[in-house]
């Protein structure tokens, strides 16, 4: 069984000049990967 993994440094569309990912897409990808959380 794999250990849970959580990204602790992600940028969203609200991170000016740093991120382009939109929140719904980030949440969907985290769920798809089976991760329990995401830190923005």
What contacts 27, CB < 8 A, 6 or more positions away?
Answer: 38
CA atoms within 13 A on the CB side of 5: 8
14, 31, 36 from 7: Cα distances, Å: 17, 12, 10
pLDDT for residue 11: 85
Tens digit of pLDDT at every position of the chain (40 positions): 677 888 888 888 878 777 778 889 988 998 998 888 888 8
Q: Where are the domains of the chain?
A: 1-40
Tell me the pTM: 0.65
């Amino acid at each position: 069984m794999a250990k849970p993994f959580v990204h602790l440094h992600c940028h969203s569309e609200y991170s000016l000049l740093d991120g382009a990912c939109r929140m719904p897409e980030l949440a969907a990808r985290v769920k798809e990967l089976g991760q329990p959380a995401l830190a923005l």
